[in-house]
Amino acid sequence: MASTTPKVLTVENMNPHIREMEYAVRGRLAIRAEELRDELAQGATNLPFNKVVSCNIGNPQQLNQKPITFFRQVVSLCENPDLLEPEKESLVSQLYPIDAIQRARQILKDIGASIGAYSHSQGVPALRKSVANFIAERDGYPADPNSLYLTQGASAGVQNILSILTQNEKTGILIPIPQYPLYSATLTLLGATPVPYYLDEESGWSLDVEEIRKTVHEARSKGTDVRALVIINPGNPTGQCLEASNMQDILTFCHEERLLLMADEVYQTNIYEPEQRPFVSFKKALMEHPQRDTIELVSFHSISKGMIGECGRRGGYFECCNLDKGVTEQLYKMASVSLCPNVSGQIMTALMVTPPKQGDPSYELYQKEMTGLYESLRRRSKKLEAVFNAMEGVTCQPAMGSMYLFPRIRLPEKALAKAAELNQKPDAFYCDQMLEATGVCVVPGSGFAQKDGTWHFRSTFLPEESLFDEFCGHLKDFHANFMAKYK
């Protein structure tokens, strides 16, 4: 009888918001990719490929990108402060450059206790000060360490801000289409109302303020309390990078429409056309706007992206501008229930924004590593873009920034029919076929939402450069075979 006892907690009676939540970046296809990886690891020889390549997620070190040496040296010393004892100096100085040793000493002094202690819930004050100095230098305008909250990756910060914004199910948040699905998933979890606005693919995924205004008015006329605008810049999955003048319009729009602005800027150093389209932070744009003291802005950054790519460490921060003082106190209370962001992530966040300076022993190597990674990412982005644009029925906007391309695919009727037969969306069908044929895992456009009747997928351009031509070749062959089969 025991085995037939119904469960207390079931999919039917659990939190319905969690049940309805979707997150395709690590969804069904990614789970299938892991199964295939396990099969290969267990010696399977019946698959048409010999490795699984995860292009579904911006996870550079998983694809063998080397971490930045200086950063890791400092963290390693902070973990093992015994190495900083005077009697070990003669040995340690042969393994670590002097500036890494000095930096680790300084960080441990700043923390004032072991890195194994809970820190201030907003993050160690001295580390926040480093971040504030970085922002001031980046933008030319000061930043207040007390307005900074260090977080376990940008995702955790975004979730906290969306949560505090959500008064009830009528609370509306403007999110771009296509969008990184953290936003839609979190709004579903919170029971808030996503208010989608569209980026225009043909003009390079540009953002038209007057289009968004129509969306806001329409949603408000239906009773939605639209109160915040999410902008991902550089774009994910789209790779666009906003122009400074466009950003001023967006700020004016936020002021006029009474919207808090959430600026997801985690790809701010992944900029591939820096002359034509440099990155401008929304903090800087705000400081140059007439309503600089009024518009409420929260901007997010992360150690997971850029050239540093320390995803697994979970570190990042958000900066609050013009937020109500009571609201920031509530943000502190929220943070305090989780005690603190992990201290190793906090340290890496501070290191990211205070790299070795010219003249420091580690400067040359740091520069070489950063430039090497940057140039390589840029080359790979251009190469993959060209590959996509050369495919039959595929068009792809360039990545001005980020780690992704988001090509549009036009599938033959027979492929659409086959997908319908399998009860799959056409882009999901295409991506499934790609995975099973090549071992390459990408994410269907439907995981990010897209204009009705269009189909896309998102791929990183992170496979190692030495294997990149082979990777591109697999995609080309797959696409040609797919088109031949279904034409």
Site for a copy of itself in 192-251 (CB under 8 A): 227-228
Whole-number Å distance between alpha carbons of 209 and 174 = 12
Among 313, 456, 458, 474, binds a copy of itself (CB under 8 A): 313
Closest approach, Cβ 252 to a copy of itself, in A, equals: 13
The answer to whether 123 contacts a copy of itself (rule: CB under 8 A) is: no
CB of 389 to a copy of itself, least distance (A): 29
Rounded Cα distance between 156 and 455, Å, is 30
Of 47, 84, 164, 287, the one binding a copy of itself by CB under 8 A: 164
13 is a contact residue toward a copy of itself (CB under 8 A): yes
Contacts of a copy of itself in 340-359 (CB under 8 A): 340-345
Q: How far apart are CA 352 and CA 348, in angstroms?
A: 6
> At its nearest, how many Å lie between a copy of itself and the CB of residue 111?
9
Of the pair 112, 473, the CB lying nearest a copy of itself is at: 112
By the rule CB under 8 A, 324 interacts with a copy of itself: yes
Angle among Cα 320, 321, 325 to the nearest 5 degrees reads 80
Count the site residues for a copy of itself by CB under 8 A.
101
Structural contact between residues 47 and 435, judged by C-beta atoms closer than 8 angstroms: no
H helical segments located in 80-222: 89-95, 98-111, 125-139, 153-165, 182-190, 209-221
In the bound state with a copy of itself, the residue whose beta carbon lies nearer, of 347 and 387, is 347
367 touches 355 (CB < 8 A) = no
By CB under 8 A, is residue 375 in contact with a copy of itself? no
Asked whether position 88 contacts a copy of itself by CB under 8 A, the answer is: yes
Separation of alpha carbons 177 and 200, rounded Å: 9
Distance CA 334, CA 402 (A): 30
Which of 277, 314, 456, 474 is the binder for a copy of itself (CB under 8 A)?
314
To the nearest whole angstrom, how small is the minimum distance from the Cβ of residue 170 to a copy of itself?
11
Of the residues 153, 157, 172, 176, which one makes contact with a copy of itself according to CB under 8 A:
153
Q: How far is the CB of 133 from a copy of itself (least distance, A)?
A: 20
Establish how many alpha carbons lie within 13 A of residue 215's alpha carbon, considering only the half-sphere containing its beta carbon: 23
Q: By CB under 8 A, is residue 372 in contact with a copy of itself?
A: no
Residue of 59, 206, 215, 252 interacting with a copy of itself (CB under 8 A): 59
Q: Dihedrals φ, ψ of 358, to 5°?
A: -50, 130
Contact 165, 436 (CB under 8 A): no
Please identify which residue in 130, 179, 186, 268 interacts with a copy of itself, judged by CB under 8 A. Answer: 186
Strands 394-395 and 408-409: antiparallel
Q: What angle do CA 156, 194, 396 make, to 5 degrees?
A: 85
The closest of 173, 376, 183, 191 to 270, measured between CA atoms, is: 376
Question: Does position 470 bind a copy of itself by CB under 8 A?
Answer: no
Stretch that binds a copy of itself, among 164-172, 200-208, 245-253, 388-396 (CB under 8 A): 164-172
User: Is 333 an interacting residue with respect to a copy of itself (CB under 8 A)?
Assistant: yes
The residues with which 394 forms a beta bridge, in sequence order, are 409
